[in-house]
Amino acid sequence: MKILPIAGVPAAQLDALDLFAHRDAGPELRDILLNLSRCARDGSEVAVIDPAETLTPSQASARLGMSRTHLYKLLDQGAIPSHRVGRDRRISLRDLLTFEEQRGCDRAELAERFAHQEATRKAAIDEVADLL
């Protein structure tokens, strides 16, 4: 996986890119270029991955910060797609990144729910009160 250093691109060059995208690019290319330009302005990063790149369960569990046992549970549940290579399995980097992104959203939501639990408590009380 490679990270492209787009944060350093000056705004003027991004404007030129946007202009080209709107004026000269075909629709598919335009979408990609505008996306790229927006990422650069946002301060996001662009990662380039080899679609053929795969990880072993050991590598995947290390990257995800969990035990191999837990990872195998996720593979068995189909939470992370995998394919067999001989007796063991392989996970594509793309699938892993998709999982990580969803997990990130889910963890963020949990953190927010913990932080705002008083408000949730009041909402729950209101919901019960409405039934009385």
- 92 membership: H or E segment, kind and range: strand 88-92
Give the footprint of another protein on residues 55-74 (CB under 8 A): 65-70, 73-74
H/E element holding 91?
A: strand 88-92
Stretch that binds another protein, among 12-20, 28-36, 47-55, 110-118 (CB under 8 A): 110-118
Q: How far is the CB of 64 from another protein (least distance, A)?
A: 9
For another protein, the binding residue among 42, 76, 88, 101 (CB under 8 A) is 42
Q: From the CB of 101, what's the least distance to another protein, in Å? A: 11
The nearer residue to another protein, 63 or 94, going by C-beta atoms, is: 63
Separation between Cα atoms, residue 25 and residue 69, nearest integer Å: 48
**Which residues are 84's β-sheet partners?**
89
- The runs of H, that is alpha helices, within 9-116 are 11-23, 27-42, 57-64, 68-77, 93-115
Check binding of 113 to another protein (CB under 8 A). Answer: yes
Applying CB under 8 A, which of residues 50, 76, 101, 106 lies at the interface with another protein? 106
